[in-house]
Structure 1
Amino acid sequence: MPQLKPLTLAILTAFSLPVWADDELQQELVDIDALSLSPSLSTSQKNEEAPTFVNADKLQGSGNNDLEAEGKVEVYRGDQVLKADWLSVKDNGNDLNAKGNVVFEQHGDTMSGPAFRLNQATGEGVFESPEYELASRGAKGKADNLYFEGKDLYRFQNATYSTCINPDSDWYVKMSSLSLDYTRNVGEGTHAQMYFKGAPIFYFPWMDFTLDGSRKSGWLTPSFRTSNTTGAELAVPYYWNIAPNRDATITPRLITKRGLQLQGEFRYLEPSYSGVVRAEYLANDKEVDRNRYGFKFNHLQSINGWQFGINAEKVSDRKYFDDLSDKLSVTSTTNLPREMWITKSENGLTLTARTLKYQTLQDDENSIDPPYAKMPQLSLNWYKPDVGVTDFNLAADFTAFSHPTKVNGRRLVVNPSLSIPISSQYAYFTPKVAVHATRYSLSSDNNTLGISNATRTVPILSLDSGLYFEREANWFGRTSTQTLEPRLFYVNIPYRDQSNLPNFDTAEADFSFSQLFSENRYTGSDRINEANQLTAAVTSRLIDPLSGEETARFAIGQRYYFRKTQRVTLDNVPITERSSDVLAGVDAQLSDKWHGSLAWQVNPEKLKTQKASLDLQYRPAPGKVINLGYRYDITPSSESDHFKQFDISGQWPLGNGWYAVGRWNYSVKDRKPLEVLGGLEYNAGCWALRLVAQRYVTSSSQRNNAFYIQLEMNDLARVGSNPLSVLREKISGFQTSQELEKAGN
C-alpha cells in the first residue's frame, strides 16, 4: 500500500443563520439568514442547523443587504468561530469582506490572515496570506494567497505543509501551487520540494493525492539500501489503483553491483476469490552474467461450496535469495512449493485433492535431497460424533509419489477409528481403537527394495485419561487459582516389519510435550512405530481469579516403554531405552516486568541435557525491553546439526529522544556470531530518524552486510530504506517511537 499519505487542508465552513450583535450599550437581533462567510470544504449538518451570532463593538446596516461590523468582530455558529477587526456583508449576503486579523476556528483547526473576500454567488474570492494550524492532523502551513475558484474549488499559491508545530519547522513541503478539488476529492501540487533542516532533500515536479484518504495511483516514496552483495540500491515504487478491488505496485530497483531489477505486485479481491501475484526480473546480472527472476502466486477461490487454491513459487537459480534478498528468513529458504488444491467440507466430511512439487535450492557445500512430489494426492476425512456412545473417524489418503533419483510409487492409506469419550468436571477417560491399513504399488525405476507391491495392516489401541484439581494459592505475591492436572496416555501397537517399505514422506517427529501424547512418533504414513507404552505427565497452572488469565504453567512428562526394544526405525538402529527423555517446561509472568519460559529435555539414564531453551524478557515500560535467550540441542543424529546459541536483543531509550536497538545471536559451536544487528532511532516529535546495521550468515562461507537509513516525516512519508520489518522480526516487543507516543496518548 502507498506510504505517501494524503495531504488534506481543512479551511472554512459556511455560516447561514441569525446574528447576535453588541453595539456599545444597545443590543439588537438582526435577521440575515442568507449570510455565509466561506465556502464549505467539509460541511457539517450540525453547524448548518445551529443559530449564528455576531458580537462586535459596532454593528450597523439593514438586514441582509448592507451589514457592517467593526471592532473585535466575533461570529459564532456551532463549533465555528470567525474573528476579525472589520466585517462587511452586501448584496443580500453574497459579497463578504473581512479585514484585520482575520481568524477562523473549527474543530480545533485555525486559519488566520490579514484579509478575506468572497462572492457567495460565484464561489470566487481570496484569503490573503493565510496561515493555518490543523490540530486534527497536528499540522501547520502558510501560503501567499488562497484563491476560491468556484464551488469546492481552491488553489493555494506558494503553500507549505508540515507536522512540526514548533516555530521553526524541522521539515516542510513547499509547493508553488496546491489545488484542492472537493468535487472529485483530488488534490494536485506542482513543483513540490521537501525540506529538512532547511535543505531540500526531494523534488517532485508534480504530485496528486486524494482528499478523503482513498487509494490513488501515483509514485510512492523512494527507498534506499546498501548491502555487500548488492551494493547501493534505489527503489522507486509506483502504485496503480486499478479498481476498488484491484491494485498493483511496480517498482524499478537499481542495484549498483548487479543492474536494474523490475519488481511487481498485483492484488485482487472478489466476493468468491482473491490472490496476490509477485514477480521480479533482473536482466543480465553483472556479477554472474545471466538473467535472474523470482515469481510467487497465491490464489484462493470458492466454487459451489468447494475451496480452490494455488501456492506457487519459483526462482531462476539456487543462490537467488542469497544474492538479492534482504531478509535472513528468506535467504534460509530451501524448498519452494508449487501447489494446487481443491477441498470441500460438509457435515463432518472433508474431501481434498492436490498436487505438490518443490524447487529445491541446493547449496554447494551441503547437498539437499529434494522431497517427493505428490502428483496427485487425494484425501478423505469423515468425523461422525455420537454414533451411539462412540465417536467415529475415517481418514483415507491416496498419493502418487515421484522423485528424479528414487523409487516412484503409489500409496493408499485407510485409517478408521472409534473412540468413547467419557468426561466429568474433574476427570476424563477416552478409550480408542483404530486400524491403519496401507498398500504400496512401486515402479521398477530406481527400485532397490526388491518388491513391486506391499501391504501393511496395524491395529492401534490407546487410552487417554486425566484428572483436574484446583485450589487457592499465593505465588509471586499474588493470589491465584492453582490447578493440578495429572494425565496418563497408554498406546498399544503390535510390531510390523517395515524395513522393506519405501519412505516417501516420513520423518521422526520432533520430540516435544505434545508429541508425548501422540500414537506414532513418526510424521507421514510410511512408518508406524510398535508400542506398548505409557506416558505420564502432570501440568499445573496459575490462573488469575478475577480476569481468568493464565499467569503461569508448569509441566513435566515422560514416556515409559514396556517392550525393551523399539524395532521400527528409519536409520535401522533399534531403540533400546526403557523410557524416553524427561520433558519439563515452565512459562510464567514472573512479575509486572519479567516474563520467562524454560523448556528442558533430559536423558534420565545419563543425567544429560539433550535439548534446552531459556527465554527471559524484561519489560519495565513501553519502549524498554531486553530479551535473553539460550538454545541447546544435541538430539539430531548428525553431529554437524548440533548447536548451542545465545541470543540477546532489545530496545532501550537513551534520553533526549534517542533509542537504541540491537540483537546478537552467537553460535558457541562455530565460535562466531550468526547475526549481529544494531541501530539508533531518534524521535524529534514531528520526524524520526532510524540508522540500522545488520550482518548475518547465509552459508558457512558467506555473510551478508546491510545498512538501513530511514527518515520519517510524521503523517506524510518515509524516505530511505525501511528497517522496521527487520526490527519487528528480530526484537520481540519492539515498537517505534511514534507507536509509543500514540499508546501513551
Structure 2
Amino acid sequence: MPFSRRSSYTLTLAIIAAAPTALMGAETDTNIRDALWTCTMENGQSWQCDHPEREDVLPPAVDPAAPTVAAESTEVDVAPVVTQVNRAKPQVNGAWLCEASATGGWACAGNEPNSPVATSKPSTAAVANTVATSDTITASPKISAPVVNPPKTTAALTESLATTVTVTSKVSTPVVRQPNKTAKQQRLEALKEQADLSDTRYASQDWYPITGASRACFGVYIEPDDEIAANDNENLTVDADSSKTELGGLTQLEGNVELRQQGHFLRSNSAEVDQVSNQITMTGDIRYREPGLLLRGAQAQTNALTGETVISDADYIVHEQSLRGEAKRIIRLQDNRIRMEKSSYTTCSPSDESWQISSDSLVLDPNKGFGTARHATLEVAGTPVFYFPYLEFPIDDLRHSGFLFPSFGYSNDDGLEIATPYYFNLAPDYDDTLTPKIYTERGLLLENEFRHMNSYGQQALSTGLMFDDNEADRDRWLVGIDHTGYKGAWSSQIDFNAVSDDDYFDDLGSSLEVDRSNHLNRLAEATYSQQNWEATLRAHSYQTINDSDSPYQKMPQLQVKGSYSYDLGQEVVLSYLTDATQFDRDIEDLTGIDRVTGTRFHVQPSISVPMISSWGYLTPKLSYWLSQYELEDQIAGEDDSISRATGVFSIDSGLLFERQAGDYTQTLEPRLFALYSEKEDQQGIPDFDTAEADFSYEGLFRENRFTGLDKVSDNQQITAGIGSGFYREDGSEMAHVGLAQAYYFADRTVQLNGDTSVDTEEQSNFAAEVYWNPYSKLRFSMDTELDRNDLSPLESNFKVRYTPAINKVINLSYRYREDVRDQVEMSFIWPLSPEWTAMVRWQEDMENSQTPEALLGLEYANCCWKVRVAARQWIEDDSDGQEDTALFLQFILKGLGAIGNGSNALQDIVGFQEREENDDY
C-alpha cells in the first residue's frame, strides 16, 4: 500500500495494514474478514494494531526498534480523511480507530461520536525527527491478502544496519566534531577552523579549501557531522518520500531514501527491500558513511543478515588519513574491512592527480591500520613508475610487518648507497627492524634494531655488521644498548655503545639511534629513591674514537644523598652527600699524574637556614668536604693515601624591587654573595671528575669554581651583582639583564693539575648576561666576559632564534674566546613559496680558517608528495681536516612512505625534527 511520509507512521504499518474489506466483498469468508487487524494511532504516535476476536492471528507486538519512516523535526497537524466510519466498532478513548475503506482510503472514528473528521496534533516527543508531507493516506486495492511476517525483516534490517555506514540525501553544513583528540587530530582541527565552507566545489567529497592558505596543502577533509550523529540510539530509522509494500514480498522506497542507526548512514534515490532474502538494493546517488569514512556509488546492495554491503562504480574517502580513490566495486565487509576491485589509492586532494596506486585488488583494514594491494602500479603524473606484485602500506599509525621504503644516497668515498629496511611486528610489546644497506664501494652492511617494552621500562638493542669492508679491508661492527626503567622506588638506565674502530661513523654513518660522540657512553646505573634521600649505584666508562685522552671510568660508583627540613622557629635544612668511587682508565701513552688511578671516598654534610620573603632572601650555609683517596701509580714524592678536610661557608642574599614602566613591570634585583673556603693543600690529588667551571654570571655565585669533587677552591670573596627584568601583564619575561663581579681577599692557589699559577687578582672580570624576547617567536641571548679594566669582550656567546611557525626557523650563534675560538653557525628552514622550502646549515671556524659543515637543501611539497635534494660538504676528522662531499635525494609520497635519505642529511638543522614530527605544515 502506498503511503506518503507522516508523523511517526512506522514501516510496520505498511505490512500490518491488512487488505481492505471492500476487496473481499460480503461473500468473503468470515474467517478472512475476522483476520483483519484493528489499528489505532494515539495523538499522532505510532500505529498500534490488534485483533479482538482472533487471538491466534494476533500480529506480534510492534517492535519499538522497528525502522521508522522519518524526516525533519517539525510539528504538523494530522487530519485523517474519513471516507467511511464503522461506528459499530468499539472506540478507544483518546485514540483514532481506523480501518481500510472500500475506496482504498482509511476510515477513522474519533472520540467524538458526531465528529466524522477530526484532527490531532502529534506531540513533539512522539514525532522527533519526523514530518508529515501529506495529510492523506491511501490504501492500494492491489494488495490481495495480508502475509504476516514483518518481525523477521524488521529485526534483520535493524541488525544489519547496526554496522552499516551512513549517507545523506540533503546538503548540510559540515560541523567539526570534538572527540578526544591525538596531537595529529588537533592539528587537523586547527586546519578545519580555517576551512572556507562556502566553497562547495568539492563538498560532495567532504573537501574544503583553507582560507588564506600559505602552505603547500590548500584544503582539508571535513565530515558533515549531522549525517552521523543524527541517530545515536540502537533503533534503525528509515526515511523516504514514499513507499510501496507487497506484504511478505518487496518493499519499495522512493525519493531521498535514508537509513540511520548509531552513527551509520546510508542514502539513495530509491531502494527495494526483499523480505524473503533480506537483501536491500539501493540505486541512484549512493552515499554510505560512518565516522571517518565515506563511500559513494551508483548502486548498492546490503544483506540484512550479514551486513555486507557492495557499492558499484564507487569512490571513497578516508578522512583522517586524507585518503581517496575509486573502484569498480567496493565491498564493505562485516568486520569493517573494505575490499575494492580495480581500484586506485592516493592522498592527493580531489583537484590533484600527482600520484596514485592502481591495483587489481585493494583491501583497507582499519582494524590493523594498513592497506594491502595486489598487482599494484605506482603512477606519477599518470605515468607508471613501479610495479608491485604485492604491496602493504599504512593507513594510520598502527604497526605491521613489511618492507619500509628504501633510501638512496651517494658520496665520493662510499659510492651509491641503497638501504631497504624491513619491519617485523613481532608482538605488541616488542618489534624488530632489519636494514640491509649496500655501498657499491664498500660492500653490505646489516643494521638491526630490536625494541622491547614492559611494565618496568623500555629497551632497545642496535647492531651493525659489515664483513670485509672493501675500502677499509677489515670487518666493521657496532653495538648499542639503550634501557630506561622505573617502578616504585626503583629506576635504572643503561646506555652502552661500542664500535669496531674509530672511523666507523665517519665511514659508514648509521641510521640507528646510537651515541655518536667522540667518547661513546657505556653507562649502567640503578637508583633507589625515597622522600628525603636516594642511592645510586653506577658503572660508567667510555670508548674514545678520536685522538684525545680517554676520560676516567667510574667502575663502580655508589652515591647516597639526602635533604631534611626542620621547623625550629625558622626553617633549617640539613643535607648530605656521600660518594664512593673506583676510578680507572687506559694509561698507555700517558705520563705523570694523568696515569694515577684509585679510589675516592667523599662525605659532604651541610646545614643552611633559608630566610625568604616577597621582598628578598638571605641564606647562610655551612658545609664540610671530607675526602679520602687510595691511589695507584702515584707520582714520585706524593703519598698513595691522601686525606682532605675543608670547610666552606657562604651567605647568599638578594632584594627585589618592582615598579611600573609603561606597559611592563620592571624589577631591580641586587644580589650579594659572600664565600669563605678554607685553604687546603690538594697537591697530588688527581682530577678524576673535575674541571674548571665556565666563567659566567651564575658561576660567580657558586660555592666552588670547580665541577666535580676532587678540587675545592680556596676562595675568600664577595660577589656583587645586579639584575633587572621586564615582565608583561601575563607574567612572561620580555627582557632581562644581569651584571656581576667578584672581589677577592686572598690569592687563589688551588688549581687543576698541570697549572702551577697562582691567581692574585683582587677583582674578577665582569660577567654579563642579556635575554630579550621582543615577542614569543623571537629570542636573543648573550653571555659575555668583559675585561675589568676597559670592558672589552674576552669571551662571548651570542644566540638568536626566530620561530614564527613550525616550518619557519632561523638560528644564528656566535662563539668567541680570545686566541682560542672564533666560530659562527647559521641554520634556517624557510618557505620560499607555499610549495618550495629552503634548508641551510653552515658552520665556519674562523680561528682555523675552515668550514666544518656546509649543507644546502631544497624541498618541493604539496598535499600529497614531496621531493628533497641536499648537497653537503663536511670535515670527517678534525685532526687532518679531511673533507667529504655528498648529494642526497628523497621522494616522499604522503600516506605511503619515503624513498631516499634526504632526511638523514638534514637532521642536524635546528627545528627540522620538530617540523617532521608535526608533518602537516
TM-score scaled by length of structure 2: 0.71
Question: Is the alpha carbon distance of 1:733 and 1:426 closer, same or farther for their aligned partners in structure 2, counting shifts above 3 Å?
Answer: farther
Question: Is the alpha carbon distance of 1:352 and 1:741 closer, same or farther for their aligned partners in structure 2, counting shifts above 3 Å?
Answer: closer
1:309 to 493, 511, 520: 493
2:636 counterpart of 1:457: no
- Alpha-carbon shift at residue 290 of structure 1 (Å): 1.0
For residues 24 and 565 of structure 1, the distance between their equivalents in structure 2, rounded to whole angstroms, comes to 100
2:887 counterpart of 1:719: no
Provide Cα deviations, 1:607-650, integer angstroms capped at 9, x if missing partner: 4322112223445566444333322123xxxx5xx211222322
2:575 counterpart of 1:393: yes
Aligned match of 2:484: 300
Helix, strand or coil: the match of 2:505?
helix
Q: Is the 8 A contact 1:382 1:395 kept in 2?
A: yes
Helix, strand or coil: the match of 1:730?
coil
2:621 to 385, 410, 432: 432
Aligned match of 1:544: 728
2:588 counterpart of 1:402: no
Aligned match of 1:17: 67
- Alpha-carbon shift at residue 702 of structure 1 (Å): 2.0
2:602 counterpart of 1:420: no
- Please give the residue correspondences for 1:321-336 in structure 2 after superposition, counting only pairs within 5 Å: 321-325=505-509, 333-336=517-520
For residues 59 and 417 of structure 1, the distance between their equivalents in structure 2, rounded to whole angstroms, comes to 90
- Alpha-carbon shift at residue 590 of structure 1 (Å): 2.1
Aligned match of 2:831: 653
2:413 counterpart of 1:233: no
2:461 counterpart of 1:277: yes
Question: Is the alpha carbon distance of 1:42 and 1:458 closer, same or farther for their aligned partners in structure 2, counting shifts above 3 Å?
Answer: farther
- Alpha-carbon shift at residue 696 of structure 1 (Å): 2.2
Provide Cα deviations, 1:689-714, integer angstroms capped at 9, x if missing partner: 22222222232322243333222222
Instruction: List alignment gaps of at least 5 residues for structure 1.
Output: 1-14
For residues 29 and 199 of structure 1, the distance between their equivalents in structure 2, rounded to whole angstroms, comes to 60
2:667 counterpart of 1:483: yes
For residues 460 and 226 of structure 1, the distance between their equivalents in structure 2, rounded to whole angstroms, comes to 59
Aligned match of 1:162: 346
Provide Cα deviations, 1:182-209, integer angstroms capped at 9, x if missing partner: 7877753222332222233444322446
Aligned match of 1:221: 405
Q: Is the 8 A contact 2:296 2:314 kept in 1?
A: yes
What is the one-letter code of the residue matched to 1:55?
A: A
Provide Cα deviations, 1:249-305, integer angstroms capped at 9, x if missing partner: 221122222211111112222222321211111111111111111111122345773
Helix, strand or coil: the match of 2:163?
coil
- Stretch moving more, 369-378 or 38-47: 38-47
Helix, strand or coil: the match of 1:669?
coil
2:475 to 291, 298, 309: 291
- Alpha-carbon shift at residue 564 of structure 1 (Å): 4.0
2:864 counterpart of 1:686: yes
What is the one-letter code of the residue matched to 1:646?
A: V
2:730 counterpart of 1:730: no
Question: Is the alpha carbon distance of 1:125 and 1:551 closer, same or farther for their aligned partners in structure 2, counting shifts above 3 Å?
Answer: closer
Helix, strand or coil: the match of 2:573?
strand
Helix, strand or coil: the match of 1:515?
helix
Question: Is the alpha carbon distance of 1:606 and 1:336 closer, same or farther for their aligned partners in structure 2, counting shifts above 3 Å?
Answer: same
Q: Is the 8 A contact 1:41 1:182 kept in 2?
A: no
Provide Cα deviations, 1:539-590, integer angstroms capped at 9, x if missing partner: 2111222x21122211111122111454544311221222222111111112
- Stretch moving more, 670-679 or 212-221: 212-221
2:159 counterpart of 1:40: no
- Alpha-carbon shift at residue 236 of structure 1 (Å): 1.7
Provide Cα deviations, 1:645-688, integer angstroms capped at 9, x if missing partner: 22232233222521222122222122232221212222222222
- Please give the residue correspondences for 1:182-197 in structure 2 after superposition, counting only pairs within 5 Å: 187-197=371-381
Aligned match of 2:737: 554
2:873 counterpart of 1:662: no
- Stretch moving more, 119-128 or 29-38: 29-38
Question: Is the alpha carbon distance of 1:273 and 1:138 closer, same or farther for their aligned partners in structure 2, counting shifts above 3 Å?
Answer: closer
- State the number of aligned residues: 709
Q: Is the 8 A contact 2:713 2:748 kept in 1?
A: no
- Alpha-carbon shift at residue 438 of structure 1 (Å): 1.5
Q: Is the 8 A contact 2:835 2:861 kept in 1?
A: yes
Aligned match of 1:54: 239
TM-score scaled by length of structure 1: 0.87
Aligned match of 1:376: 556
Helix, strand or coil: the match of 1:510?
coil
- Stretch moving more, 22-31 or 652-661: 22-31
- Stretch moving more, 22-31 or 199-208: 22-31
- Stretch moving more, 410-419 or 106-115: 106-115
Question: Is the alpha carbon distance of 1:168 and 1:288 closer, same or farther for their aligned partners in structure 2, counting shifts above 3 Å?
Answer: same
- Alpha-carbon shift at residue 314 of structure 1 (Å): 0.7
Task: Quote the sequence identity (%).
Answer: 31
Q: Is the 8 A contact 1:530 1:568 kept in 2?
A: no
Helix, strand or coil: the match of 2:506?
helix
Question: Is the alpha carbon distance of 1:16 and 1:197 closer, same or farther for their aligned partners in structure 2, counting shifts above 3 Å?
Answer: farther
For residues 473 and 417 of structure 2, the distance between their equivalents in structure 1, rounded to whole angstroms, comes to 19
For residues 273 and 417 of structure 1, the distance between their equivalents in structure 2, rounded to whole angstroms, comes to 35
Question: Is the alpha carbon distance of 1:494 and 1:629 closer, same or farther for their aligned partners in structure 2, counting shifts above 3 Å?
Answer: same
1:709 to 875, 882, 889: 889
- Please give the residue correspondences for 1:1-16 in structure 2 after superposition, counting only pairs within 5 Å: none
Provide Cα deviations, 1:385-420, integer angstroms capped at 9, x if missing partner: 217452111111111222332122211111111112
Aligned match of 2:877: 699
- Alpha-carbon shift at residue 369 of structure 1 (Å): 1.3
Question: Is the alpha carbon distance of 1:194 and 1:446 closer, same or farther for their aligned partners in structure 2, counting shifts above 3 Å?
Answer: farther
Q: Is the 8 A contact 2:596 2:634 kept in 1?
A: yes
- Alpha-carbon shift at residue 502 of structure 1 (Å): 2.5
Helix, strand or coil: the match of 1:323?
helix
For residues 343 and 25 of structure 1, the distance between their equivalents in structure 2, rounded to whole angstroms, comes to 79
Aligned match of 1:5: none
Question: Is the alpha carbon distance of 1:64 and 1:553 closer, same or farther for their aligned partners in structure 2, counting shifts above 3 Å?
Answer: farther
Provide Cα deviations, 1:308-367, integer angstroms capped at 9, x if missing partner: 3322111111111111226999897111122222221224222222222211113xxxx3
Instruction: List alignment gaps of at least 5 residues for structure 2.
Output: 1-64, 72-130, 140-149, 167-227, 588-594
For residues 317 and 311 of structure 1, the distance between their equivalents in structure 2, rounded to whole angstroms, comes to 19
What is the one-letter code of the residue matched to 1:730?
A: I
For residues 77 and 328 of structure 1, the distance between their equivalents in structure 2, rounded to whole angstroms, comes to 50
Helix, strand or coil: the match of 1:655?
coil
Aligned match of 2:815: 631
For residues 116 and 16 of structure 1, the distance between their equivalents in structure 2, rounded to whole angstroms, comes to 22
2:630 to 441, 445, 460: 441
For residues 519 and 655 of structure 2, the distance between their equivalents in structure 1, rounded to whole angstroms, comes to 43
Question: Is the alpha carbon distance of 1:421 and 1:692 closer, same or farther for their aligned partners in structure 2, counting shifts above 3 Å?
Answer: same
Q: Is the 8 A contact 1:240 1:249 kept in 2?
A: yes
Q: Is the 8 A contact 2:251 2:275 kept in 1?
A: no
Helix, strand or coil: the match of 1:516?
helix
1:358 to 517, 523, 542: 542
Helix, strand or coil: the match of 2:461?
strand
Provide Cα deviations, 1:80-130, integer angstroms capped at 9, x if missing partner: 654444421112571222234434355585433332233333556642221
Aligned match of 1:502: 686
Which protein is richer in strand relative to its size? 1
Helix, strand or coil: the match of 2:827?
strand
What is the one-letter code of the residue matched to 1:197?
A: A
For residues 916 and 523 of structure 2, the distance between their equivalents in structure 1, rounded to whole angstroms, comes to 41
Find the structure with the greater CA-based Rg: 2
- Alpha-carbon shift at residue 23 of structure 1 (Å): 12
